[in-house]
Amino acid sequence: MDPIALAAGTALVGAIATDAWQGARTGLVGLWRRVRPEQAEAVDAELAETRLHMLAARASGETDTEQALAADWQLRIQALLRANPAVAVELRQLLDEQLTPALTADERSRIGRLVMKAEASGSARVYQAGRDQHITER
């Protein structure tokens, strides 16, 4: 999955439970309207429904629901990107300017970027991991 779809879906669901929700909604529906105008109204209604589920999940401490909602929007955003890859620039702008600032520091850490570069020569090996890494030698 495209990393921007992962980040945007996660940030969207997090922002949806904040006061920044209207800006997030307007921004995402605007993107949809440009790429898939026939789906924009449905997406708008689905965002409102997601907000209700998200607020209820947060009130009852259901983190699994929050993760499921984020996964759902990640898939939807991925499909939008497949339909029009050029929308990634606008999506990144929405993520950076509206969604991410609405999140808590903990939520922001979940959508951060990670860039790793390595160079090996000869018989050298390079092992990189963005998180846990387990290496078993044979």
pTM of the model: 0.74
DSSP per position, 26-75: HHHHHHHHHH-GGGHHHHHHHHHHHHHHHHHHHHHT-HHHHHHHHHHHHH
* Per-residue pLDDT tens digits for 14-71: 888 888 889 889 999 999 998 899 999 999 999 999 999 999 998 998 889 988 999 9
How far apart are the C-alpha atoms of 136 and 90, rounded to whole Å? 42
